[in-house]
Amino acid sequence: MRFVMALGVVALGAGCAHAPKPADPGARAQQLSVEAEQAYDALDFERCAERFRASGEANAEGPDRAESFYRAAGCASLAGHADAAVDVLKRAVQGGYYDADHLEYDPELAALHPLPAWSGIVAEARANLAKAPEAPFMTMTLMGVDAFGSRKVDRETVQRLMGLEVGKPVVHSSAIFKQKEAALREQYGLAFARASMSIYFAEERKGTAFVVMDMVDAEDAGRLRFLPEPKGHPTDPEGLLARWNAYVERLQQLQMQGKLSEDSSCKVASCVGGFGHPDLASFEPEFLAKVPGQLDALTAVLREEADPEKRVAAAYLLAYAPTKEETAQRLQPFIRDPHSSVRNSVLRVLTATQEAATKPLVDVAMVADAVTMPMATDRNKATYLLSYLLDDLSPEALKAQRAGLLRQLGEQLVGMSALTLPINRDPAVMVLKQLSGETYETADEWRAWLARQPKTAG
């Protein structure tokens, strides 16, 4: 399969701060941690610091306690209370916190670096690391920064505003991303700004990260057109949604532990991570057996369910429809779901399904429209989908589509060809090659080629 948007790369948006941690052993500590996360998401750093500190104190000695104190330090620092942040950070490292690289490069703790206590805190974390039972999750190196979608804001402006240095270690902070997004929207009058970080932890790009700032100028607000938010709660057909989410949870655990085989496969075009591990083997037979009888119910979930996590599950399960045509037919109306994770899943399944097909399964105009959506996670999949769709058009049909697609998408595809993140750049280059019959290496060459094309009204 050429379309590999899966195990080696994870995109972290403004709503994801740190790797998942185990549930707190005490109900009180767990509730406090939930409240702290809610405060963090709302950028209420005073309450976030207080709730995480209280969660740490409610926890027994161990990694959860240390992690809660660490998170409290980040929130206290963001709230402007450097001394309080140092105090609680000392409690974190005294309690065994050992992810020294994360601590050292965490932008939420940058205000603490000039303080006398900082070097001792880092040294204690490194001493903890030397005797840790397992290595922490790797700290990534920033390989590129991209800005896309605005005629007012370029890559250099985004990199400067966010304080990012290519070639240096980088730690994701959703709170700081949100602050920078707000600053861009206000300063440049943008209708939309969303930062994300993609990290690679497999294959040849292991340990690298790329930051993308997606933007929409006020005059282009039509790009933000999505379906209405569903409000219902349909029944989970035969428990399939719960089973899919159980599969994904175990898959992610195995992935983070490095125990998932890269060549694991499944019996349909799209299944996220396959079922090759023994812990996953029991799931797919159930999906194969039950989904064909529940297609209408799963489609109703996509149309009506208020919980986006359940809509995501329904999208993936529809890959188990009896035919590729039925999968495509049922998913196509939901390409513009209001929630990014659902759009991501719908487009992922459609892309893999079209790639496995030998004839067009989706409407070219609808896919071209999806390529103009505001977020990179929408655009890259929609552009891959467009490429596989063009592969399956007859030469005559491709020729008929060429002028319209270049008029609608030419400038955007050339702009995407200049991006540093491969999963955002590569599909645009694929489509440009299909539409042009040419092979160029750089965005400047593609821009010059596009300028030579006849201008057609319409």
Mean pLDDT of 100-113: 97
Q: What's the pLDDT at 238?
A: 97
Q: What's the pLDDT at 233?
A: 97
If DSSP states are collapsed to H, E and C, what string results for 223-245? HHCCCCCCCECCCCHHHHHHHHH
DSSP H or E run through 140: strand 140-148
CATH 1.25.40.10 at 140-223, yes or no: no
Burial bucket for residue 138 (CB in 10 Å: 0-12, 13-18, 19+): middle
Q: Write the CB contacts of 136 (distance below 8 Å, at least 6 apart in sequence).
A: 98, 99, 101, 102, 129
Mean pLDDT of 159-179: 96
Global pTM reads: 0.88
Instruction: With a cut of 90, say whether residue 419 has pLDDT above it.
Output: yes
Q: What's the pLDDT at 22?
A: 44
Q: What's the pLDDT at 25?
A: 54
Report the percentage of the chain scoring pLDDT > 90.
84
Average per-residue pLDDT in the chain? 92
Domain boundaries of the chain, sorted by first residue: 20-130, 140-223, 225-350, 362-458
Mean pLDDT of 224-236: 97
Span 362-393, pLDDT tens digits: 999 999 999 999 999 999 999 999 999 999 99
Local confidence band at 20 (pLDDT 50, 70, 90 cut-offs):
very low
Instruction: With a cut of 60, say whether residue 18 has pLDDT above it.
Output: no
* Homologous superfamily assigned to 20-130: Tetratricopeptide repeat domain (1.25.40.10)
Q: What's the pLDDT at 125?
A: 97
Enumerate the H helices of 332-416 as residue ranges. 340-356, 364-371, 376-391, 395-416
Give which of 118, 19, 36 is closest to 75, Cα–Cα.
36
